[in-house]
Amino acid sequence: MMNLCGIDEAGRGPLAGPLYIAGVILNEPIAGLGDSKKLSEKKREALFDEIQAKSRFHISRFDAAQIDELGISACLAAGLKEIMSMIGEADYLYDGNSTFGVSGLRTLVKADAAIPEVSAASILAKVSRDREMVELALFYPQYGFEGHKGYGSAAHIEAIRRYGHCEIHRKTFKLKALQPTLF
User: Which region, left, alpha or beta, applies to residue 57 given φ > 0 means left and ψ of -120 to 50 means alpha?
Assistant: beta
One-letter amino acid of 38: K
Q: What is the DSSP string of 28-47?
A: S--TT---GGGS-HHHHHHH
Q: Summarize pLDDT for 7-66 with one digit per residue, the tens.
A: 999 999 999 999 999 999 999 999 999 999 999 999 999 999 999 999 999 999 999 999
Domain segments of the chain: what residues? 4-130
Q: How confident is the model at residue 173 (pLDDT cuts 50, 70, 90)?
A: confident
Write the class of the CATH domain 4-130: alpha beta
Q: Summarize pLDDT for 60-96 with one digit per residue, the tens.
A: 999 999 999 999 999 999 999 999 999 999 999 999 9
pLDDT averaged over the chain?
A: 94
Strand partners, 94: 7, 107
